Amino acid sequence: VLPDESADVINKIYNADTIIFGSPVYWWGVSAQLKMVIDKMYSKSEQFQEQKKKIGLVTVGADELKGPQYRIISEQMQCICEYLGWELVFSHPISAYEKTDVLNNSDELRKLGELWKKIS
């Protein structure tokens, strides 16, 4: 394990009961930045497997929600959670493109608020 800044993030994950991962969809997957964190999580797998955590996932892609990318990412997160013994409580895809698309969508903001209640 290289001694880089990711240790802080991994420690925060270790100390959290609940984590909501968020990512734009890049090439039918999560962003490289989130993938880097997920990869680093492997270094603490054994400790993580002793913990119970509730996980949420929010993905934002430009494509319509019927595109396969949201399912692909959700299935990957489900596999990761099963491996670690964590519970994937929700997986919420959003279709948006412009910067303020989500902010201007009151229905979407309401749904996000409901998800938060589900996991807390």
Ligand X SMILES: Cc1cc2nc3c(=O)[nH]c(=O)nc-3n(C[C@H](O)[C@H](O)[C@H](O)COP(=O)(O)O)c2cc1C
Verify binding: residue 30, ligand X, rule CB under 6 A: no
Among 48, 49, 72, 50, residue whose Cα is nearest residue 59: 72
Of the candidate spans 13-21, 50-58, 63-71, 106-114, the one that interacts with ligand X by CB under 6 A turns out to be: 63-71
Binding mask 97-116 for ligand X (x = CB under 6 A): x-------------------
DSSP, res 101: T
How many residues bind to ligand X according to rule CB under 6 A?
13
Q: In what order do the strands lie in the sheet with 54-61?
A: 18-24, 54-61, 87-95
Binding mask 69-98 for ligand X (x = CB under 6 A): x--------------------------xx-
Judged by DSSP in three states, 82 sits in helix
Of the candidate spans 19-27, 35-43, 78-86, 106-114, the one that interacts with ligand X by CB under 6 A turns out to be: 19-27
Residue with tokens 């019927």: 66
Answer for the pair 74, 57: CB distance below 8 angstroms, yes or no: yes
Binding residues (CB under 6 A) for ligand X: these are: 24-28, 60-63, 67, 69, 96-97
